[in-house]
């Protein structure tokens, strides 16, 4: 089978998602305007069949206020947040739904449900969150991780987070993603543990301990994304200036980058959790309706057979 052309824009993610049949998405606590609007848009585009689990009266009232006609496949009444998360996760686990989405419920409650040992969705050793933005020069999708789940990963966990992101890059047709392990500087400084981890990850990739990608690090964010900045610093590598994947050192760095990109609204964003047995849409309350829709499309695109 010929290799899939790389997906280089969020618009192309939408197109890929449209190739599949609509999948059922179980949504825990969808009592939120942007969540409902994005689901309505995704259902209307034929991407998903929403299975809404939460307070029926609030869902119906919000839909009425928003002028949304019935777009869901089903609503299941559940007034307790943790119970709604558990039921949504169980629906995915049983195969009745193929994707999961967080609504208006705390991230901790939601993730504890996803990770639950009895009914959760663990598949790979570590689940992680990958955000994606559309970059220019060259036009490509840049994946960055982990902005929402793993708080302070150690070296072994960073390797797993990296492998999860590389797996997603492969799903998007990026055959050998260029991964930048990000730190504050591009030289190893034992006072900055992120630089030591980044150099270790680069060496692990050189030695074949991490496969399917090329890794360079440490790289500062500008050296990773700007050919000009990399040239200025005299850095020559296959990754510098043209990274496809940014591995951030911890949740603070990742989350700040994600929130800044969301606030400046210049580059379209999407995000999904990977490493679970099904794609999980975990967007934050502050995310725009557009980012939520893009994220649903990304989750649907992952499920497409290409």
Contact with ligand COD (CB under 6 A): which of 255, 267, 288, 306? Answer: 255
Total binding residues toward ligand COD, as defined by CB under 6 A: 14
Q: Is the dihedral of CA 66, 72, 76, 82 positive or negative?
A: negative
Contact with ligand COD (CB under 6 A): which of 67, 108, 190, 234? Answer: 108
Chain positions 282 to 301 lying near ligand COD, rule: CB under 6 A, are 284
CA distance 39 to 41: 5
CA distance 72 to 274: 25
Which candidate, 98, 155, 106, 103, places its Cα nearest to that of 126? 155
Classified as helix, coil or strand, 176 is coil
**Residue count of the chain:** 306
Residue 3 CB-density burial (10 A; 0-12 exposed, 13-18 middle, 19+ buried): exposed
Question: Binding of ligand COD at residue 9 (CB under 6 A)?
Answer: no
Contact with ligand COD (CB under 6 A): which of 73, 112, 170, 259? Answer: 112
User: Cis bond leading into 241, ω under 30°?
Assistant: no
Contact with ligand COD (CB under 6 A): which of 8, 24, 107, 250? Answer: 107
Beta strands in 154-268 (DSSP E): 178-182, 214-219, 245-247
Whichever of 17 and 27 has its CB closer to ligand COD, that residue is 27
CA distance 246 to 261: 14
User: Given the rule CB under 6 A, which of 63-71, 91-99, 106-114, 298-306 is the region that contacts ligand COD?
Assistant: 106-114
Contact with ligand COD (CB under 6 A): which of 143, 148, 243, 297? Answer: 148
Chain positions 125 to 144 lying near ligand COD, rule: CB under 6 A, are 126-127
Whichever of 226 and 277 has its CB closer to ligand COD, that residue is 277
Chain positions 257 to 286 lying near ligand COD, rule: CB under 6 A, are 284
Chain positions 56 to 85 lying near ligand COD, rule: CB under 6 A, are none
Q: Is the dihedral of CA 167, 173, 236, 146 positive or negative?
A: negative
Question: Binding of ligand COD at residue 115 (CB under 6 A)?
Answer: yes
Contact with ligand COD (CB under 6 A): which of 15, 61, 66, 151? Answer: 151
**Which residues of this protein are in contact with ligand COD, per CB under 6 A?**
107-108, 111-112, 115, 122, 126-127, 148-151, 255, 284
């Amino acid at each position: 089978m010929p290799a899939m052309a790389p997906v280089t824009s969020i618009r192309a993610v939408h197109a890929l998602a449209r190739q599949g049949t609509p999948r059922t998405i179980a949504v825990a606590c969808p009592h939120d305007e942007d969540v409902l609007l994005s689901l309505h848009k995704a259902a209307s585009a034929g991407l998903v069949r929403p299975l809404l689990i939460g307070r029926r009266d609030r869902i119906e009232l919000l839909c009425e206020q928003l002028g949304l006609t019935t777009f869901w496949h089903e609503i299941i009444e559940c007034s307790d947040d943790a119970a709604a998360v558990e039921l949504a996760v169980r629906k995915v686990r049983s195969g009745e739904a193929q994707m999961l989405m967080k609504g208006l419920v705390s991230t901790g409650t939601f993730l504890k449900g996803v990770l639950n040992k009895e009914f959760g969705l663990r598949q790979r050793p570590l689940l992680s969150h990958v955000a994606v933005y559309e970059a220019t020069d060259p036009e490509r999708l840049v994946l960055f991780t982990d902005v929402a789940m793993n708080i302070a990963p150690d070296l072994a966990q960073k390797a797993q987070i990296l492998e999860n992101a590389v797996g997603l890059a492969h799903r998007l047709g990026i055959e050998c993603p260029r991964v930048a392990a990000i730190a504050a500087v591009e030289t190893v400084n034992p006072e900055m543990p992120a630089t030591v981890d980044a150099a270790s990850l680069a060496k692990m990739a050189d030695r074949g301990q991490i496969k399917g990608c090329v890794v360079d690090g440490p790289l500062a964010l500008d050296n990773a994304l700007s050919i000009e900045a990399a040239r200025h610093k005299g850095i020559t590598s296959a990754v510098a200036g043209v990274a496809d994947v940014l591995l951030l050192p911890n949740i603070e760095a990742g989350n700040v980058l994600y929130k800044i990109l969301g606030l400046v609204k210049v580059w379209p964003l999407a995000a999904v959790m990977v490493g679970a047995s099904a794609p999980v849409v975990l967007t934050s309350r502050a995310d725009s309706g557009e980012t939520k829709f893009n994220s649903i499309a990304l989750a649907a695109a992952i499920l497409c057979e290409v």
